[in-house]
Chain A
C-alpha cells in the first residue's frame, strides 16, 4: 500500500511539474532567462559580474549607448547631446524621463550617481576614475571635468547606470550600499519586482520607458540562477528557459542547429582562455622560460576545441576592438623547435610548475590541459589545480601557483586602455601574475589624453608590444560566442564589449 501511494505521489508530482512547465512554455508574455549565477548585489556601483549586470543593465539607463555593430559609434540615451572642450564635457539630458517610482530624472541624479560611484570606488568605477568633478549647470545640463583631457569619457559612461538622487540622499549613511544591494529604482526598460534568494529575480516591463520596445515585448522577466552550464543547456533545449548564458560551446552548437532554434554569433570578452604566467615565481619568472611556453603551446588544439569557431590572438587587444593594433602584430603560432631553443636558453629543462584554473569553465580547464600537454613535449611538468575563482586567483597572487587561466575584462566599448588597467598595470585586480613595466604604465596614462587617433594608435601598439614581448600571457584562442536562440523568440544581440548579457528590452516573442 505504502509503495503504491509512493508511486502515485511521484506520478502526481511529475504531472504537476509538467503542468507548471507547460504554463511557462505557453506564457508568451514571460521571458525566462537562465543566468550563470546569483548576484551578490544589484547595486550598479558595485556590480561586477555578468549575472549582476543582467539585472542592472535592464533596470537602469546610462547617459550614452553605443552601436553594437560598431562600438566606436556612440548613441544617445539619457543624454541626447554631448561636447568635449579639453577637460570639460557637457551633457544635455533627455527631458521627461522618470524613475520607476515616478520621480523625474535630471542633472542632480547624474551628479549624485557619479559622486557616489567614485566614493565607493568599486565595480565599474575604474571606467570613470579620471573624473575630477561633476557640476549641475541646470536641471537638464551637467558638466563633467576630468583630471586630464580624455577622449574616452563618453564611451566609458555607456556602462555607468544612473540612480535617483532621492534614493541616494535617503540612504546616505552607508552610501546607500545596504539599500541598493537588494533594491532598485531606475529609469530603465524593466522594473525590479522581487528577489527570491537562491531562485530568481523577477522584473516587469516599464511601459513608461522613454525608449522603444519591439512589437510583442515581454511583460515579465524571470532571471533564474542556474549555476550549472549543462543544466542551462538542458533547460533551454527543453523549453524551460527562453535563453541562457554561458551555454558550453558544443551544446550551443548542437542546440543552435537543432529544430526550433537558430544561432546568434558574435564576439565577447568573457570566453577568452588567456593563461597568465607568474612573473615573480620560478620557473615562470624567467622570460626565456615563458617564451618557451608561449611557443610550445598548441594553438590549433584550442581552435579545434572550439570547433574552428575561434582565432589565435596576437596581443592583448582583439582585432575587432576599435583602434586595435592587432593586425600589425606578428602571428603567434606553435613552434616547437623555437620553444626548445628558448627553454635551453633559460636553463630550466625538466622544470615543474603549477597552474590554477577557476572551476566551472570547461574552456579554461581545457586551455590548461593543452598547456600541460604542450609543456610535456619540452619536458616541463605542469600540475593543474581547479579551484573556486577566489582561491585560484589568490593562489597565483600569493605565489603558490605559476599560472592562472582567465578571460579578459574590458567593459568599455572603445577605450582600449581598460584592457591594460585591470590586467597589466600595477594593482590591477586581474593582474594576477604581477606584471609591471613602467613604460607601459606611462603609456596607458598618456593614451586617453591623445586626441589624434593615428598618434593614439601608435602608442597603443607600443603598449601592446610591451605585453607581447614580455611573454606574460598565452592568448590561447579567441572563440566566437555562440548563443542558441529559440525560433519562438527574437531580438537577442551579443554585446561585443561585454560579457554575454541579454538586453531584455530588445527581446520579443514571435
Chain B
C-alpha cells in the first residue's frame, strides 16, 4: 500500500451533463459583472429617470425599470460586487479564522481542545440566522455589520471541519513518520496536515459562497443590510415589494439572480467534492 504525502491536485475534469458548464457560465458572467460593471451596465444604476418609472422589460431596459426609472439590469450588474463581494468576504474570513482555530484545537491537548470545541458548540446552540439577526441589529445596520455578523456565525463550521480533519490526519502514517523523525508539531501542521485540510475547505468554501449570498441578501431584505440606493440584490427585492402587483420584473429578476448564483456555486462545490471523493 502506498500512502501519498502530497495533496491531490485540483482540476475540474470535463463534466457530465450540462449543469456544470452552465454553472461555470454563470460564474463567468458574475465575474464580468463584478469586474466590468461600467462596461456591461447600459444605464446609470443610481440616477433617477422618472420618465421611465416602472417600465416593463423592453429592448432599452431588458429587466425593466424600478420606481425611480432606474434600469433594473444595470442595478443588478452593479449590485453584484455588493452582494457577491460581501458573501465571498464572509466565507473567506470565516474560513481563514476557522482553519486556524480548528487546527489549533485539533493539535492541542485534550483540555484545551475540549474548551475550544465547547465554545464552538455555543455558536451551534443558536439558530444561525437568528443569531446573525441579533448580532447585526446590535451592531447597527449596513453591509459592514451584515458581513461581520455572518462571519461570526459562519466560522464555527470551518473550525469543526478542520479540527476533525486534523484529528484524522495526525494519526496517518506519514505524520507519525515525520513526528518520529523529530519534526516539530508546527511544521507537521504546516507541511503535512494543512495542505490536506485545505482541500476539504476549498469544497466547502465554494458551496458556502452561495449560502452566504442567500444570507446576505436575506439580511438586506429584512432591512439590516445595505441602505438605499445601493443596488444590493436583497435590498432590490425589499424595495420591489410594494410594486410587485404592478411591476413583477422588479422582484423577479433580482430574485432569479440570487437563485442562479447560489445554485451555480452549489453545483461547482458539488463538482469539486465529487472530484475530491474520486
Contacts and interface: CB of A to CB of B under 8 A. Distances in A.
B67 interface: yes
A77 to B, nearest CB: 37
B7 interface: no
B235 to A, nearest CB: 9
Interface in A357-410: 359, 362, 365-366, 368-370, 372-373, 383-387
Contact of B48 (A229, A230, A253, A298): A298
B26 interface: no
Given A385-B141, A386-B223, A387-B141, A230 B228 contact: no
A311 interface: no
A248 interface: yes
A305 interface: yes
B50 A251 contact: no
Interface in A232-271: 233-234, 237, 248, 250-251, 253-255
B147 interface: no
A221 to B, nearest CB: 26
A301 B227 contact: no
Contact of B50 (A233, A250, A305): A305
A29 interface: no
Contacts of B68: 301, 305, 366, 369, 373
A268 B148 CA distance: 43
A366 B67 contact: yes
Interface in B51-106: 51, 53-54, 67-68
B47 A251 contact: no
Given A301-B50, A369-B48, A385 B247 contact: no
B247 A250 contact: yes
Contacts of A251: 242-243, 245-246
A266 B50 CA distance: 24
Contact of B245 (A255, A298, A368, A370): A255
Contacts of B247: 250
A250 B141 contact: no
B239 interface: yes
Interface residues of A, number: 31
A300 interface: yes
Contacts of A248: 242-243
B245 A304 contact: no
Nearest to B50: A304
A126 B243 CA distance: 37
A475 B176 CA distance: 76
A250, A255, A359, A385 — most chain B CB neighbours (10 Å): A250
B46 interface: yes
- Secondary structure at the A interface, as helix, strand, loop or mixed, is helix
A447 B227 CA distance: 43
B172 interface: no
Given A369-B48, A373-B46, A384 B246 contact: no
A250 B246 contact: yes
A372 B68 CA distance: 12
B126 interface: no
B50 A300 contact: yes
B228 A250 contact: no
Interface in B238-266: 239, 241-247
Contacts of A255: 245
B229 interface: yes
B243 A386 contact: no
A229, A234, A255, A366 — most chain B CB neighbours (10 Å): A366
Contacts of A362: 67, 239, 242
Contact of B227 (A233, A254, A305, A386): A386
Contact of A230 (B54, B229, B241): B241
Contacts of B46: 373
A237 B244 CA distance: 13
Nearest to A366: B67
Contacts of A372: 229
Given A305-B53, A386-B223, A370 B242 contact: no
B228 A369 contact: yes
B244 A305 contact: no
Given A384-B229, A386-B228, A250 B54 contact: yes
Interface of B: 46-48, 50-51, 53-54, 67-68, 141, 223, 227-229, 239, 241-247
Given A250-B246, A369-B48, A385-B141, 9 more contacts: A250-B54, A251-B242, A251-B246, A254-B245, A298-B48, A304-B50, A305-B67, A359-B223, A383-B227
13 contacts: A233-B245, A234-B245, A250-B246, A251-B245, A253-B246, A301-B50, A365-B228, A365-B239, A366-B68, A370-B48, A384-B227, A384-B228, A386-B227
Closest 5 CB pairs of A and B: A248-B242, A304-B50, A230-B241, A254-B246, A362-B242
